[in-house]
Amino acid sequence: MKQYQDRHEAGQELAKLLSSFKNEKDVFILALPRGGVPVAYQIAKALNVPLDVFLVRKLGVPGYEELAMGAIADQNVCLLNESLILQLGINSSQIEQVKKEESEELKRRNKLYRGRKEFPDLVQKKIILVDDGIATGASIEAAIKAIKKLHPKEIIIAVPVASIDSLEHLRPLVDKIVCPFTPEPFYSVGTWYKLFSQTSDEEVCDLLNRANKDR
């Protein structure tokens, strides 16, 4: 069974597949924190292009938080899985409560990761959107919808591993997908890594600082 050693190795493998973007002035890498940041750091370092984060929070079903009923992202984007919400009988006040909690966390992380730094200008940029893997695609779809509001030239998804279903759903929304590994059955993102410990806020901040200091 193929497994990546860790997120850094996965990023190095992806960087080889993205080598045509090396030193391009209009390329910008956006990572979905926290797990996407170590992957994206290796890509940014290899391609010599800037790195920033794009914040997305899953909206978990009350009592079953691992199950996503939607997602929120920077730029006030909210995506809801209406059929799941209907199926589980989740009411609007429950949804609003989860949205409120996740919005607070999104603001906290924005302040922590970005500090006083302005969000980058993405107009006419080629955006490489990176995560450590895609299971359902809810988070990355919210990110795509939000990034499109910022008028980029292209959006490229780059992930080390993803479910086939999620990529088929996302393919029409972006210009290109780079994903070397689509195992079936998929199980979960963590299945395909030997080391899959949670990335800390401290590591995110450290890698962002290092990526942009190295350039």
Residue 1 inside a domain? The answer is no
User: Domain check: are 151 and 190 in the same one?
Assistant: yes
Asked if residue 42 and residue 89 are part of one domain, the reply reads no
Range of the domain at 156: 7-55+118-213
* Domain identity same for 194 and 95: no
When pLDDT is cut at 50, 70 and 90, the band that residue 214 belongs to is low
Query: What residue type is 21 in one-letter code?
Result: F
41 and 85 in a single domain? The answer is no
Q: pLDDT band for position 152 (50/70/90)?
A: very high
Identify the CA nearest to 177 among candidates 115, 128, 214.
Answer: 128
- State whether 90 and 132 are in the same domain: no
Q: Where are the beta strands (DSSP E) in 42-185?
A: 51-53, 56-61, 64-73, 77-80, 126-130, 154-158, 176-178
pLDDT tens-digit map of 48-58: 999 999 999 99
Shared domain check, 188 and 148: yes
Domain stop point among 113, 148, 181 = 113
**28 and 13 in a common domain:** yes
Task: Give me the number of domains the chain comprises.
Answer: 2
In a domain, 184, yes or no: yes
28 and 62 in a common domain: no
> In the chain, what percentage of residues exceed pLDDT 70?
99
Q: What tokens were used for 47?
A: 């391609």
Are both 129 and 203 inside the same structural domain? yes
Same domain, 132 and 38: yes
- Total residue length of the chain: 215
The verdict on residue 2 lying in a domain is no
pLDDT for 64-105, tens place per residue?
887 889 999 988 889 899 999 999 999 999 999 999 999 999
Do 129 and 205 have their domain in common?
A: yes
Q: Are residues 158 and 85 in the same domain?
A: no
